[in-house]
Chain A
Amino acid sequence: MMRVFTMEFQKIKRKGIFTTIAILLGVQCLWGLWSFGRMSGEKLAQGWFQCLYHFPILNAIMMPVVIAVLVSRLCDVEHKGQTFKLLETIIPAETLFHAKYLCGVIHVTAIALLQVFMILAFGVIKGFGGPIPWDKILFYLISTIGVHVTILLLQQVLSLHFANQMVPLTVGLLGSLAGLFTMFLPKGVGKLLIWGYYGVMMRVGLNWDPSTRISDFYYVPVDWLGVFLLAFMFAGIYVYGRRSFARKEW
């Protein structure tokens, strides 16, 4: 398994995946610098809330597309090179499926970790009010990785199934729009789509008073039903995806 896994990184050499990740994080960093740079002390006092509220929205907008691109790169090298019929005479299909998935997981976990470091860096440099809410940030990190890896799994199943990568990329793009849209609808709607879980997992709510035009953030409890539903979706996609790939004839 380890050999197969390391070879996945060899295969995506020169495919520009690190550039894609760097651009994503760069855009998020620029947004942060622009956003926090013009905030007054009063707003900065709610800096941690701001981050835990806005970064899930950024994730919902950007990550489904980034994940679709990442997975399509990982799988398209095999479709284009017609290498499945070679690889499956050397290694089990399941091993290939897992190695590819693990490679994707490493990438999205790295993105989530770097994003959290970015949030912490913003907090320390700009002097957000109050102590660092470690428990909320840890939950944010774990839940974000959870949503990333579930979307990643779905995209991998699609990218392995369709030789034409336009199909999974379109799904990723539509997922991104749908995920963002569900954030502005009741939470129950977001639970129907895996892309909506960036919103479902948010630990921060927003009260906006239209008369005073003042927004006030507050913490919300963990949506455990959402957590279980996400885990259930993950398990379903995994069982179906692994089996269908292993049964595929080349």
Chain B
Amino acid sequence: MTDIITTNALCKKYGEAMSVKDLDLKVPRGVVYGFLGPNGAGKSTTMKMILGLAKPTSGTITVFGKEMNQRNRLTILKEAGSLIESPSYYAHLTGRENLKIISTLKGVEEEEIDRVLKIVRLENQKDKKAGQYSLGMKQRLGLAGALLGNPKLLILDEPTNGLDPAGIQEMRELIRALPKAFGMTVMVSSHLLNEIEQMADHIGVISKGELVFQDRLKVLHDKSKSSLAVRTLDNGTAKGVFERHGIMCREEGAFLLLPELTDQELSAHIFHLFHETIGVVRVEERKKTLEEIFIELTGTAVSL
């Protein structure tokens, strides 16, 4: 699988503060890439650098296999659409007029406007002034603008920010469908873990400007190794029994925490406890949540 976006040791410094540090992103083709991180982690700055809206202090950005610079930036970005932070729109113009401006600037046929309006389900609101739209509708208008010209790459920065639950669900479904329906690659940022979990195939986690994890979401799930929690009527003696049979465990509250065991191993160890006449009252499988993994990765509880 080739990468649509790669960055190499990308850095951005504002004054003395390092906003992005040695970032090596790899966004594979045809996926939804979730760019996750707490507020102020450097997500928007990174996306702005990819779009040429902010100048990197050092490092390189390659999009569609071409290293970007000020001269070729717009040629490369012809095949990209974006929605950065809040949606961009002219409040005194209708939704359709807004899209007409973008389509003209992009050099896209006017018929495209109706197609994208349909995708974002704004076709019945197209003649209403954008200033009268709800925030969700403005976000969808912004997405429609990004979709004009059927770009191969979409860069969406916190597209669900400020939306109500229904709006979030709608936007999420829309983004999720794009790679399959139109063959697009979508890079979407969020500070909400569950949101990225529901949208993305690949994930990059940024914390304090540094990339702390990047891979398929599945790999992250695999990291959440399960453990077993056993509660007995005499945890002290039971701990000794487990240790005599080579199982290292630790006490946590009313439970003994054991490493992951096969069904056969677990059954054998419980038999040992019975043999020692220690009553087993609970056996639970415990899995680290993604949230716990993120806290481990980022060292921050934040709003992930």
Contacts and interface: CB of A to CB of B under 8 A. Distances in A.
Contact of A87 (B48, B91, B105): B105
B101 A10 contact: yes
B90 interface: yes
B106 A81 contact: no
Contact of A88 (B53, B97, B100): B53
Contacts, number: 75
Contacts of A6: 104
A70 to B, nearest CB: 16
Contacts of B107: 3
A45 to B, nearest CB: 50
Interface in A41-93: 77, 80-83, 85-92
Contacts of B142: 86
B84 A81 contact: no
Nearest to A96: B105
B85 to A, nearest CB: 7
Contacts of B104: 3, 6-7, 10
Contacts of A91: 74, 105
B145 interface: yes
Contacts of A88: 52-53
Given A10-B101, A91-B74, A92-B74, A81 B89 contact: yes
A13 interface: yes
Contacts of B93: 10-11, 13-14
B90 A86 contact: no
Contacts of A240: none
A177 interface: no
B80 interface: yes
A124 B138 CA distance: 55
Interchain residue pairs A-B with the least CB separation, the first 10: A86-B88, A83-B88, A249-B54, A250-B53, A90-B105, A81-B90, A89-B51, A85-B84, A81-B89, A82-B88
29 contacts: A3-B104, A3-B105, A10-B97, A13-B97, A14-B92, A14-B93, A77-B90, A77-B92, A81-B89, A81-B91, A82-B87, A82-B88, A83-B90, A85-B51, A85-B53, A85-B88, A86-B82, A86-B142, A87-B88, A89-B51, A89-B80, A90-B77, A90-B105, A90-B106, A91-B74, A249-B53, A249-B55, A250-B48, A250-B53
